Amino acid sequence: MARALITVPASARHGEIIEIKAIVGHPMEPGFRRTQLGTLIPRDIVTQFACTYNGVEVFSADLYPAISANPYLAFFTVATESGTLVFNWIGDNGFSVTESAAIAVT
Amino acid sequence: MSASGDRRAAVLALFLAAMLSAIPISAGEIPLALRRSGYDFMSRETRAMQDDDSVNPAMLWVKDGEALWNARAGSADRACSDCHGDARQSMKGVAARYPAYDPAKRRPVNLAQRINICRSERQHAPALAYESANLLALAAYLGLQSRGLPIAVAIDERTRPFLEAGREIFNRRQGQLNLSCAQCHDEHWDKKLAGNPITQADPGGYPLYRLEWQGLGSLERRLRNCLSGTRTQAYAYGSPEFVDLELFLMWRWRGMKVETPAVRP
Amino acid sequence: MKERRRPANSRRRFLLAAGGVAAVLAFEPADATVAEMSDAMRKVVGGAPVAKGRVTLELPPLVDNGNTVALTVRVDSPMTARDHVKTIHVFTEKNPQPNVATFRLGPRAGRASVATRIRLADTQTVVALCEMSDGTFCSGSADVVVTLAACLEEL
């Protein structure tokens, strides 16, 4: 499965509030489920997400098993300058995904 | 039994009691004017997931499908795109007419099987397993190229016997509950089962992202759920019974639009 | 439909089977986590008072499937350097664990609004607790009705 889908406007006016959407491919196995034979399926979730804008963190999140599979997050940030937004997800069993998107601010 | 199991059981009991004593409102096909996509029965929030590709998790698979389309594979070392070019042109409308007759197999094949024919015969690569992430990804990517186009499977003297076989399965009472697909999906589509709308057995959005699965799945996987729900032995993936049933469902859905990759509860 | 053509116990078998499958649902409702939720909230606020209001939870009143429920949290805040939202914690009372997510934002967000998708094991109340830049807390909540899926997957 693809690692992530990111939606960032390609360009924005200086000072404009822009919406950012991010989906990462992950089953979010909560760690409470049992198979029909009764064995517990171990937890395997994404635990942390962070978004930096030209190196400065603008949004971050701690995620728990109650977040749906293929975690979706949408949030806002002020378009301050042209540059790069970097998205990072970290989780159980060494899960780590990094994606980036460029934005041109006029 | 858990609390939710008890509640589910109680609701199902009420529903089945009502349904089994009800006189069928209509027998036979749903008239064109009354045909409604599974989409129309969903909540506003679930519809919003299908409406916007930037929030539809199925697009994770579509993105993979595009990469696979352009990746060389097998001992022929060729990509799908090497022969078929840009899928946006070459595969436009293809998914809307599957299952389609395959002269070599002398029977209809579904889109997943058609992809695997090219895998083995053109790429000389091992077939992709049914329901594997890669096969779903390619099927979703191809399906997307037909999104919005009307479903039109070709029925002629070669495919008609398979269509009739599929129709027979749809109308056959089976399983421990002795229920047919038609009893739920033709006669009671406007009712609810344990709080969920029954709907009209819309096959046009597959592979789709089902909230229940928390992932992408094929029409055959969905049919297996309905079969096990009525305590009927499910057919094997790719079996003639499934493809015949799929052909019938797509013919029954003729003129309705492809919604791949759809979202369903 | 002719009732008598059905085997006598078939309905019961269907129901038992349905109950059996329920055991592998992603989230089973757990008892008595209302107290756990209060504990989890107390851990965040300590002894500080929590004002009701300013926080809006947008959740569908009726859910198609508890595996994926759209949630938007909005806080009424100017989001300036002097007055902004620092953290939003989301809790539920009947999931196996009260914590759902913690979001950290700041003046650079421009707007205090976050959307995600959550799992809800049962009909219940969802609470958002918000910490402001001046150290005060406020909260909002919403009730959701969750129905269970009909034709379930057999694992």
CATH code: domain of residue A23? 2.60.40.10
A40–chain C Cβ distance below 8 A for any pair? no
Banded pLDDT at C94 (limits 50, 70, 90): confident
Give the minimum alpha-carbon distance from B45 to chain A in angstroms, rounded to a whole number.
14
Give the neighbours of chain B: at least 3 Cβ pairs within 8 Å: A, C
DSSP A65: T
Give the minimum alpha-carbon distance from C132 to chain B in angstroms, rounded to a whole number.
29
Banded pLDDT at C6 (limits 50, 70, 90): very low
Residue C107 is assigned to a structural domain of this protein? yes
Residue numbers of the domain that contains A41: 4-105
Nearest to C65 among B3, B193, B212 (CB): B212
Residue C105 is assigned to a structural domain of this protein? yes
- pTM, two decimals, is 0.90
Rank B15-29, C18-32, C97-111 by mean pLDDT and report only the highest: C97-111
Choices 1.25.10.10, 3.30.1330.20, 3.30.420.40, 1.10.760.10: CATH for B3-52+157-264:
1.10.760.10
Give the minimum alpha-carbon distance from C70 to chain B in angstroms, rounded to a whole number.
7
Q: What percent of chain C has pLDDT over 90?
A: 59
B138 in Cβ contact with B119 (< 8 Å): no
User: Which residues touch C146 (CB under 8 Å, ≥6 apart)?
Assistant: C63, C66, C69, C120, C121, C122, C123, C124
Which residues in chain A touch residue C92, judged by CB atoms under 8 angstroms apart? Answer: 66
More confident: C36 or A100: A100
Residue C79 is assigned to a structural domain of this protein? yes
Contact between chains at A58 and C119 (C-beta distance less than 8 A): no
B59-144 has the same fold as B3-52+157-264: yes
Query: What is the pLDDT averaged over residues B31-48?
Result: 95
Residue C23 is assigned to a structural domain of this protein? no
B71–chain A Cβ distance below 8 A for any pair? no
Q: For domain B59-144, say whether CATH 1.10.760.10 is its number.
A: yes
Per-residue confidence (pLDDT) for residue B1, from 0 to 100: 33
Q: In this structure, how many other beta carbons lie within 10 angstroms of the beta carbon of residue C8?
A: 7
Rounded Cα distance between B144 and B146, Å, is 5
Which residues in chain B touch residue A4, judged by CB atoms under 8 angstroms apart? Answer: 60
Task: Please check the confidence at residue C71 and state whether its pLDDT lies above 90.
Answer: yes
Lowest mean pLDDT of B1-5, B30-34, B243-247, C8-12, name the range.
C8-12
Nearest to C102 among A61, A75, A78 (CB): A61
For chain C, the farthest-separated pair of C-alpha atoms sits apart, in whole angstroms, at 75
Per-residue confidence (pLDDT) for residue C7, from 0 to 100: 32
Q: What percent of chain B has pLDDT over 90?
A: 80
Number of domains composing chain A: 1
Per-residue confidence (pLDDT) for residue B236, from 0 to 100: 96
Task: Please check the confidence at residue A94 and state whether its pLDDT lies above 60.
Answer: yes
Per-residue confidence (pLDDT) for residue B18, from 0 to 100: 57
A97 in Cβ contact with A89 (< 8 Å): yes
Contact between chains at A67 and C115 (C-beta distance less than 8 A): no
Task: Please check the confidence at residue C41 and state whether its pLDDT lies above 70.
Answer: yes
Per-residue confidence (pLDDT) for residue B13, from 0 to 100: 52
Banded pLDDT at C4 (limits 50, 70, 90): very low
Closest by CA position to B260, among listed B108, B127, B91: B91
Query: What is the pLDDT averaged over residues C78-107?
Result: 95
Banded pLDDT at B22 (limits 50, 70, 90): low
Per-residue confidence (pLDDT) for residue B90, from 0 to 100: 98
Query: What is the pLDDT averaged over residues B138-154?
Result: 98
User: B199-217: per-residue pLDDT in tens?
Assistant: 999 999 999 999 999 999 9
The strand pair at C137-146 and C62-63 is best described as parallel
Task: Please check the confidence at residue C26 and state whether its pLDDT lies above 80.
Answer: no
Task: Please check the confidence at residue C1 and state whether its pLDDT lies above 70.
Answer: no
Task: Please check the confidence at residue B247 and state whether its pLDDT lies above 80.
Answer: yes
B71–chain C Cβ distance below 8 A for any pair? no
**Residue A3 to residues A25, A26, A97, B22, Cα–Cα distance (Å):** 5, 8, 7, 49
User: A33-46: per-residue pLDDT in tens?
Assistant: 888 888 999 999 99
B79–chain A Cβ distance below 8 A for any pair? no
A41–chain C Cβ distance below 8 A for any pair? no
Residue numbers of the domain that contains C129: 34-146
More confident: C14 or B247: B247
Find the CATH number of the domain harbouring C39.
2.60.40.2470
B55–chain A Cβ distance below 8 A for any pair? yes
Residue type, C13: R
Q: Has B226 been annotated as catalytic? A: yes
Closest by CA position to C110, among listed C72, C152, C73, C77: C77
Banded pLDDT at C8 (limits 50, 70, 90): very low
Rounded Cα distance between B176 and A6, Å, is 47
Helices (H), strands (E): how many in chain B?
A: 11, 7
Per-residue confidence (pLDDT) for residue B232, from 0 to 100: 86
H/E segment holding residue B263: strand B263-264
| Residues of chain B numbered 118-137 and touching chain A (CB < 8 Å) | 133, 137
Task: Please check the confidence at residue C153 and state whether its pLDDT lies above 90.
Answer: no
Residue C131 is assigned to a structural domain of this protein? yes
**Residue B105 to residues B101, B109, B247, Cα–Cα distance (Å):** 8, 8, 15
Look up residue B128 and give its two tokens: 């992709």
Per-residue confidence (pLDDT) for residue B14, from 0 to 100: 53
Per-residue confidence (pLDDT) for residue B2, from 0 to 100: 41
Residue C90 is assigned to a structural domain of this protein? yes
Question: Where are the domains positioned within chain B?
Answer: 3-52+157-264, 59-144
> Is B209 in a helix, a strand, or coil?
strand
Task: Please check the confidence at residue C89 and state whether its pLDDT lies above 60.
Answer: yes
Outline where chain C has alpha helix (H): 10-22, 34-45
Lowest mean pLDDT of A34-43, B100-109, B200-209, C24-33, name the range.
C24-33
User: Which residues touch B27 (CB under 8 Å, ≥6 apart)?
Assistant: B182, B186, B187
Per-residue confidence (pLDDT) for residue C21, from 0 to 100: 33
For chain B, the farthest-separated pair of C-alpha atoms sits apart, in whole angstroms, at 60
User: B48-84: per-residue pLDDT in tens?
Assistant: 999 999 999 999 999 999 999 999 999 999 999 999 9
Banded pLDDT at B6 (limits 50, 70, 90): very low
Banded pLDDT at B181 (limits 50, 70, 90): very high
ipTM: 0.96
Query: What is the pLDDT averaged over residues A12-39?
Result: 94
More confident: B19 or B215: B215
Query: What is the pLDDT averaged over residues A29-58?
Result: 94
Per-residue confidence (pLDDT) for residue B153, from 0 to 100: 98
Which residues in chain A touch residue C115, judged by CB atoms under 8 angstroms apart? Answer: 72-75
Number of domains composing chain C: 1
Task: Please check the confidence at residue C151 and state whether its pLDDT lies above 90.
Answer: no
Burial of B192 (0-12, 13-18, 19+ CB in 10 A): middle
